[in-house]
Amino acid sequence: MTDDDALARLREMQTADLPVHGGRTLAYVYDSGLPDVDRIGREAVAAYAGSNGLDPTAFPSLLQMENDLVGYTADLLDAPADAVGTVTSGGTESCLLAVQGARDSRPDVERPRMVVASTVHAAFLKAAHYFGVEAVVVPVGPDFRADAAAMLAAVDEDPDRTVLVVVSAPSYAHGVIDPVTEVAPAAAARGIRCHVDACIGGWVLPFAARIGRDVPPWTFAVDGVTSISVDTHKYAYAPKGTSVLMHRSPAHRRPQYFAHADWPGYTMLNSTIQSTKSGGPLAGAWAVVQSLGDAGYERLTREVFEAVDRIVAGVAAIPELTLVAVPDSTLVAFVTDDTCDAFTICDEMATREWYVQPQMSYAGQPPNVHLSVSAATLAHVDEFLAALAESVAAAVAVGPVGVDPGVAAFIETLDPATLSDDDFDGLLAASGLVGGGEGLALPDRMAEVNAMLDLASPAMREALLVAFLDRLARPNR
Ligand SMILES: Cc1ncc(COP(=O)(O)O)c(C=O)c1O
């Protein structure tokens, strides 16, 4: 291809993707709605795309940017004067490192465990899996907030092996803030680290408090909070690829470092999982934060909360819908009554060019619709609510989605641990996840597939979707 052809082809391929601007994609992306912010972010990423964050002495400008960004974050999080932080590649890496650091801060513990609320992000279960830390998952209370007493009771079952307690501000699924003041000081009293996962709320809640909204305490101002994760690629509206992991003190961060000099090459010294890492995302985040500053974020926070308040009121006015919880932040989740279903509503919204995210049933909670609201959505809230009302009416008209009883019975008999590749292929075909012709394709409407997955156990869902993704990810040759 010529250079122009390659770039044209990229633009063409990208038309298949969800739009990242325009405020109509209410998952995965966070849109300030400000073209200049997008432009400066993109230009900064491009300018630093080839720089390598592996060695801050070779690329001192990256160190300068990281220290600036961490300093700005520290102020947002009420961090003490000697707090330190690291810019990572995203929320999951920050959560992974919080767990790895906690584990390695206790080399005396042979079989480390951590106590987490059942609403913590799946990244913590990934960390448990990667780092051999047992995750003790404690059900949340009826308001979807961590049950502090139950978490502490779980800690006390084996305090000597417990290296970490994790709560969220807010949790992804329900958008509520855990009772950090009840958990963190009690963890500290037992000499145990407490991580607050504010990946999604960390950049918006401090500004929400500044503009006078009611925000329960969750920052380093709470005694016993030892680390906090905050994603700049979410509500700092920066390009994808950065998050900040803050620690209360340098001693808390120390076990996060990996150093290796005992080989014939350069001494490898890393504060993150990546070693070579593009300077692009860091430069993009730095530039966007410089450009928006406190005033910009306060304005965007007013906008996003005005959008949230109007969406909450609009959802409450649709008789078939009920909010899962009154949101503490910018995430909204709602369930339906039995005249319709969440999955069909998601499909209907998609036909109206709104992307909203289905969440499966969990622990007795029915499937629901999840929105990550961006500042850019404010300009389109009336249109969103009109589309939602139409989508609900359309979903009521067709009635709740069903699953073929034969498929449902078949799924019940399956054990994901013993399924063969052929079994997976049969089930993928039966479930509609396999398209004709070119092989795999997603159907236009996902309600039937989602309803089928919703019937399956979480382990079966995992197995099916892994099998599906595995078949999607095959080289074009
Ligand atoms: C609370 C929370 N923690 C962690 C993550 C993981 O972040 P990432 O997708 O950037 O890896 C998310 C993502 O939505 C989140 O909401």
Domain topology for 42-288: Aspartate Aminotransferase; domain 2 (3.40.640)
**Pocket residue to mutate for ligand 1, from 93, 166, 195, 199, most atoms within 8 A of Cβ:** 199
How far, in Å, CA of 146 to CA of 115, rounded? 11
CATH 3.30.460.20 fits 293-398, yes or no: no
Q: Fold match between 42-288 and 293-398?
A: no
**Which residues, 6 or more positions from 51, have their beta carbon under 8 angstroms from its beta carbon?**
59, 61, 62, 278, 279, 280, 283
User: Percent of the chain beyond pLDDT 70?
Assistant: 98
Ligand 1 close to Cβ of residue 200 (< 6 A): yes
- Residue 87's H or E segment, with its range, is strand 84-88
pLDDT of 427 above 80: no
Residue 123 Cβ < 6 Å to ligand 1: yes
d(CA 199, ligand 1 centre) in Å: 6
**211-246: per-residue pLDDT in tens?**
999 999 999 999 999 999 999 999 999 999 999 999
DSSP annotation string for 398-447: H-S----HHHHHHHHH--GGG--HHHHHHHHHHHT-B-STTSB---S--H
pLDDT tens-digit series, residues 175-215:
999 999 999 999 999 999 999 999 999 999 999 999 999 99
What is the distance in A from the centroid of ligand 1 to the CA of 81? 27
Token pair, residue 472, equals 């999607």
**What are the sequence ranges of the domains in the chain?**
42-288, 293-398, 405-472
- The reported pLDDT for the residue numbered 469 is 87
Helix then strand count (H, E) for the chain reads 16, 13
Cα distance between residue 88 and residue 156, in whole Å: 32
- Residue 92 CB–ligand 1 contact under 6 Å: yes
Rounded to the nearest angstrom, the distance between the alpha carbon of 162 and the centre of ligand 1 is 23
- Do residues 225 and 179 make contact, with C-beta atoms less than 8 angstroms apart? no
Is the confidence at residue 435, as pLDDT, over 80? Answer: no
- Residue 437: what pLDDT? 47
